[in-house]
A and B are shown apart, each in its own frame.
Chain A
Amino acid sequence: MLDVKAGDEQSFALLLHRYRSPLINFLYRMVRNREQAEDLAQEVFIRVYRAREDYVPSAKFTTWLFRIATNLALNSVRDNRYQRMEISLDAPVTTDAEDGDEKTLDVAEKHPNIEQHLIEEARRKMIRQAIEKLPEKQRAAVLLHKYQELDYGEISKILECSESALKSLLFRAYETLRVELAPLVAQQGK
């Protein structure tokens, strides 16, 4: 980021390349719409670019980046601007579906063990829905903790809460997930 601050566009390209995928995935799981997630990710990168002159390396870059992303995502979820465009993950399969459900079904038709394949699909869907059901802040905490592997200090800065509050937030989130996913958890235990 310090190179970007010095006006090095190649370093910005490096940041873009390194963080676009985790950022888009985080935002996608927050807002549940791929198009909107990419729009928000663009906005995050533009804000980083605009703020390059004023950037002070007082915090880790990832903390700063995900703080911008989380604020944008929480605002977006709350103001429902994109609600009409929202594509439910329950909706019939579309070409834009998260992990190519349509394509997966085509493959499944040729798959020797179609039943197994469909079971796996149903599992993934159940897990996605359990994450989506979490309240926004709990969802953000789980996503940052599980998928971005940020430490508690970073996550608490991003979510603007104490570490103790974050631990309670995470406990409640995992507790809800445990209940929602009870059938799968039971299978996992066998």
Chain B
Amino acid sequence: MTGLKTGHYKGAAGKAAEEGGSEGKEDMSCGRMEKKIVGYVDGRLKEGERLEMEKHLSTCAVCQLRVNEFRAVNVLLEEVPMIEPSAAFDVRVWARVAAEPAKQSWWAWFAPSPRVAFAASMLVLAMMWLGSRPPEPSLNASEVETINQNMQVLENYDVISDFAPLSELPQPVQADEAGDTNQNQQM
């Protein structure tokens, strides 16, 4: 047999090989040619390759038969009919295209959205308003002294408010109640 992968081959080419006894040197040549048979059949070989193939075919009945059978296969494949796309195919494709989100370019990242633009302008306005306010008057030395004194009282407030003996003192008299008492006394 030839160098072709034809372990399962039982066609006319096999018989031709047995009858022709084309063993030995031609094995190598057939093996080298096998990759080119398809190209030769469909006419896609380069000129040099085609001539080399034809030279080989003129002396090798096996490959010649193989070429003829590949040609027959090629013709048979043309008998398979084509199918037509269904009527709804285009409609479905366009529906999917319409459902595709609009693609944004990289530069679109810089384009502010309306909400971001509104928030940014509000922030600018707020900063301008704060900037336009008159500065608070500075304190003189006596005022600073008064604040410092009051601060000491405030700092002691927590201690005083939780001072247990103070809770035993009578509740301070309300202003209205004090007024009523005064009136009753006058009466």
Interface residues of A (CB under 8 A from B): 9, 12, 16-17, 20-21, 24-25, 28-29, 34, 38, 41-42, 45-46, 49-50, 53, 98-99, 123-124, 127-128, 131, 142, 145-147, 151-152, 164, 167-168, 170-172, 174-175, 177-179, 181-182, 184-186, 188-189
Taken together as a complex, chains A and B put the C-alpha atoms of A45 and B98 apart, in Å, by 13
- Indicate whether A175 sits within 8 Å of B6 (C-beta atoms), given known contacts A20-B90, A42-B92, A188-B72: yes
Instruction: Write out the residue numbers on chain B whose beta carbons fall within 8 Å of the beta carbon of A28.
Output: 83
Could you name 15 residue pairs across A and B whose Cβ atoms are closer than 8 Å? A16-B93, A21-B82, A21-B85, A41-B85, A46-B96, A171-B37, A172-B5, A174-B73, A177-B73, A177-B77, A178-B11, A178-B69, A178-B70, A182-B10, A185-B72
- Indicate whether A42 sits within 8 Å of B9 (C-beta atoms), given known contacts A124-B79, A127-B79: no
Instruction: Write out the residue numbers on chain B whose beta carbons fall within 8 Å of the beta carbon of A171.
Output: 5, 34-35, 37-38
Interface residues of A, dominant DSSP: helix
Q: Known pairs A46-B100, A175-B4, A178-B11. 7 more at Cβ < 8 A?
A: A127-B76, A152-B44, A164-B35, A171-B37, A174-B73, A179-B11, A188-B75
Number of A-B contacts (CB under 8 A): 123
Instruction: Write out the residue numbers on chain A whose beta carbons fall within 8 Å of the beta carbon of B38.
Output: 145, 167, 170-171, 174
Taken together as a complex, chains A and B put the C-alpha atoms of A12 and B82 apart, in Å, by 23
Of A38, A152, A172, A175, the residue contacting B89 (CB under 8 A) is A38
Closest 8 CB pairs of A and B: A188-B72, A167-B35, A99-B81, A185-B72, A170-B38, A177-B73, A24-B85, A20-B85
A146-B74 in contact (CB<8A): yes
